[in-house]
Structure 1
Amino acid sequence: MAKLTIRFEIRTDKLNQGGKAPISCMVSISQQRKRIATELSTHPANWDKSNQKAIYRSKKEFFKISGSNMPSAFLMESDIDRINGLLEKIRSRLNFIEDGFRISDKPYTAEDILSKYQESQPSTGTKAIEKPKYVIQTVTNFIDTYIERNKASRAKRSLGVYSQLKKHLEDFEAWSNIKVTFDRIGLSLFEEFQNYLIEHKTSLNNITIAKQLSTLKTLLGYARKHGFEINQSYRDFTIKRQKLEVITLSEGEYRTLKAADLKGVSRHEKARDIFIFLCATSMRFSDYDQFKREHIKGSTIQLTMKKGSKPWEIPLNPDSLSILDKYRELAEPLPKISNPKLSKYIKEVCQVAGIDESIEIVRYKGAEPIRNVYPKHQLVSAHTGRKTFCTLSLERGASVETVMKWSGHESYASFKRYVNLSRVHSISEMERVWGKTEIMKTG
């Protein structure tokens, strides 16, 4: 019985406007040949005739060999991998069909193979592989779908990151003349997009870029779970994250802030009280914003955290109780201030209190460090309260497990980003564990 021969070739006689040639699959049995249109195409410069597959060429090689001056004709490594992967799927399908004829011991021709292949095409053929609705949809269009589907369950601020990502991807598409579709956004495109953000988005540092790339990975994972066919090599892209400085108040600064004379300025008094309450409870701003009197249960606060929708309970202490007592006549447990205003006012309060230690902040743009020095009060925000709670609780002797229970952290990896044990505490702990030392004299 004659055996099936499968060969892939490009039709240089049918170049499209972009200079690409369609790829055909030739099936042969006993001199009988049939052609299958794969609906794939590549530039002749990217075709390896002897090995019957697409081949990657650098931009310099490609434009030299092809003589093309059209950026859209250039194929990235992810494009080449996609084409070769689909060609292998076609080859496997044809071999599977032939095996079926052989097992049943039925004679078959190239026409029989073609007929069976076309029957299977709606679910497993080339058209279904190459151009289903999910594959050809651009990532930027899907971001709109994602935001719409999640706006009822996600905070508006967190979805704003996806809107920013969409804008960066659209700018990248305009710059590169490449449409970012699910089937081509693999490892190579991730690297190209990262380089674009570093080189052309001058306002973004590495931390912001890492956030954008992480958001893109999350989006692709969501799309994959919902049935989109995605170039899986994107999973091999590693996002490099810079360790951030943890800004907290020291024990001395916390006491200084509590005792500072604010000259009766109402906005400063209220901002300090709210901030001290956050420092004494580990509460996030989002939970302060939803905090009601019914959440006070005897000597504890009990509510469902806005972030993660987790139940949370923390005992009240003298500092948090004194703040609640001060505002006992209000309908709400505390005065209400917006997050931007609270962060602005608490900076002003910390400046009045003399919290002005010089802090160096280092950010990177690519491999280039950008160093700036700020007085500490400029770096304090509403979220500093939660970090201060975790740090001071540990320094005052509470165990890590207890502080994590109070703050609602479930993993140590996330908890440790909130802790900035002071130099004084480090020295005192060394003396407690190893004994006090005499300062060495020199000279």
Structure 2
Amino acid sequence: MAKLSMRFEIRKDKLNQEGKAPISCMISVSQKRKRISVEKSLHPVNWDNSTQRAIHISKTQHSKLKLGLKHTDLLMGSDVDQINSLLDKMQSRLNFIETRFRLNDQLYTVDDIYNTYLAECPSTGIKSTENQIQKPPTVPEFIDTYIERNRASRAKRSLCVYSQLKNHLVAYEEWSRSKVEFESIGLSFFEEFQSFLIEERTTINNNTIAKQLSTLKTLLNYARKHGIEMNQSYRDFTIKRQKLEVITLTEREFKLLKEADLKGVRRHIKARDIFIFLCATSMRYSDYAQFKREHIKGNTIRLTMKKGNKPWEIPLNPESIAILEKYQDMAEPLPKISNQKLSKYIREVCEVAKINEPIEIIRYRGSEPIVNIYPKHQLISSHTGRKTFCTLSLERGASVETVMKWSGHESYASFKRYVNLSRSHSISEMERIWGKTELMKVV
């Protein structure tokens, strides 16, 4: 389905006697365009083409520009705010009109958007008669629109979270016998919805609940920016997150993995090679899946990360080069295995390597702790490779800034979730900084 695009601009070809240009909004659908007058005008110097908004010119700026106009002829700060507020409302209203067409599965043209806007918003106002303004969608209905709009730009896995949220909201509607509407989804709703997830959706724990609540907040912010009016007290709701365990391989375990006798089992050998490569490059599975020979540039790998579409470059090292050389006769730089199978095979390899330290995992459902103990090999996945890279790089002496550059992390807050410095490293660093200690004698 075609999408609405819009651009605010000033008509320099329509200057009035005072030298002011009228503002208009150019809307387009499938390369067909219509112009909507905003019924506001200003001097061109008060307009910024890049932001498509009015700007204030200070007295200092005015004197430098030598415009041939008095400063009092230009917009005051309050005038700028008023105009920009009007443009924001107009943009939100147009987006909302498009959303209604999408929710009703209606094909639409630029004329449909244009005529609907003029019918609902004559001049700069909005008619308030109930028979002219359709009721906004419920929150579960709007999720379908969000998924459709973002299908091309978001990873499938990230959109699955929104589908899960819709399922929970629909279940809540059945349980509460009331629709989840934007105007009623404030702070009190979040508190009740959280209680519903804890008490009625008993298969999910607090971390999953926190993720669902965070996703709902993101959705509401998106809807608000697209013109849907709502109770904004939801923004005061605080989401509590449990700090999760960081599972990585230690130096000893990494050595055990590399030296394990896999008895010639090909799926295990390939999976180990891929996992070692991930441990040596910090690569995510999504980037391994798109990794091609053309991404190898001399002694570095350069590609655009799937997550965030960010450029990424990392130097190769002996571990990663050895794996690439092993498969140099293949068209692809590495064998390709699905993420699910790779994680499964790596767990099997780690079990062979006797990576079986008991790990206690504590999750909460409401205030009730759920405690489980697993051998470490059961907790390994393909993503453990990236976390192992970050941890071992730090333990081997690289600075935090360098490791973040290698891994592509932009904030320390997200980076620290990938690091699990070992107890032995902590002890050796204390001895290196403060000196080696004798065993304390018990008196």
Q: Could you state the TM-score of these two structures normalised by the residue count of structure 1? A: 0.71
Contact 1:303 1:313 in 2 (8 A): yes
Instruction: Structure 1: state its 5+ residue gaps.
Output: 1-118
Counterpart AA for 1:272: R
Instruction: Please identify runs of 4+ aligned residues in structure 1 that moved more than 3 A.
Output: 119-128, 130-133
Change (3 A) 1:377 1:244: same
- In the alignment, does 2:176 pair up with 1:176? yes
**CA distances 1:82-135 after superposition (whole Å, capped 9, x unpaired):** xxxxxxxxxxxxxxxxxxxxxxxxxxxxxxxxxxxxx9999467547x9944x6
1:442 to partner: Cα distance = 2.4
Give 1:137 deviation, angstroms: 1.2
Matched, 1:428 2:428: yes
Instruction: State the partner residue of 1:316.
Output: 316
2: CA distance, partners of 1:289 / 1:239: 34
Q: Take 2:133 and 2:182, find their aligned partners in 1: how far apart are those partners?
A: 11
2:323 aligned with 1:349, yes or no? no
CA apart distance, 1:280: 0.1
Q: Counterpart of 1:9?
A: none
Q: Which has the larger radius of gyration?
A: 1
SS in 2 for 1:161: helix
* Alpha-carbon distance in 2 for matches of 1:396, 1:340: 30
**1:371 aligns to 2:371 (yes or no):** yes
Partners of 1:274 and 1:163 lie apart in 2 by 32
Identical-pair percentage: 75
Distance 2:380 2:363 in 1: 18
CA deviation string 1:312-361 (max 9, x = no partner)? 00000000000000000110000000000000000000000000000000
One-letter amino acid of the counterpart of residue 173, structure 2: E
Contact 1:347–1:381 under 8 Å retained in 2:
yes
Maintained 8 Å contact 1:121/1:127 = no
Look up the match of 1:163: 163
Q: Distance in 1 between matches of 2:159 and 2:211?
A: 13
SS in 1 for 2:438: coil
Whichever residue aligns with residue 409 of structure 1, its letter is H
- Aligned equivalent of 2:104: none
**Superposed counterparts of 1:284-363, under 5 Å:** 284-363=284-363
Q: How many residues are aligned here?
A: 323
CA contact (8 A) 2:165 2:216 kept: yes
Instruction: Show structure 2 runs of 5+ residues with no match.
Output: 1-120
| CA offset digits 1:195-251 (Å, max 9, x no partner) | 000000010000000010011000001111111111100100110001000000001
| CA distance 1:131–1:398, shift in 2 (3 Å) | farther
- 2:80 is matched with none
Q: Which residue of 1 aligns with 2:144?
A: 144
Alignment RMSD (CA, Å): 1.8
Partner residue, 2:232: 232
How high is the TM-score relative to the length of structure 2? 0.71
Are the equivalent residues in 2 in contact too, given 1:300–1:315 (CA < 8 A)?
yes
1:204 correspondence with 2:204? yes
- Matched with 1:438 is 438
Aligned to 2:385: 385
| Secondary structure of residue in 1 paired with 2:182 | coil
Residues 347 and 377, structure 2, Cα contact 8 Å, conserved in 1: yes
Question: Does the 8 A contact of 2:356 with 2:376 survive in 1?
Answer: yes
> In 2, distance between residues paired with 1:265 and 1:132?
66
Letter in 2 for 1:261: D
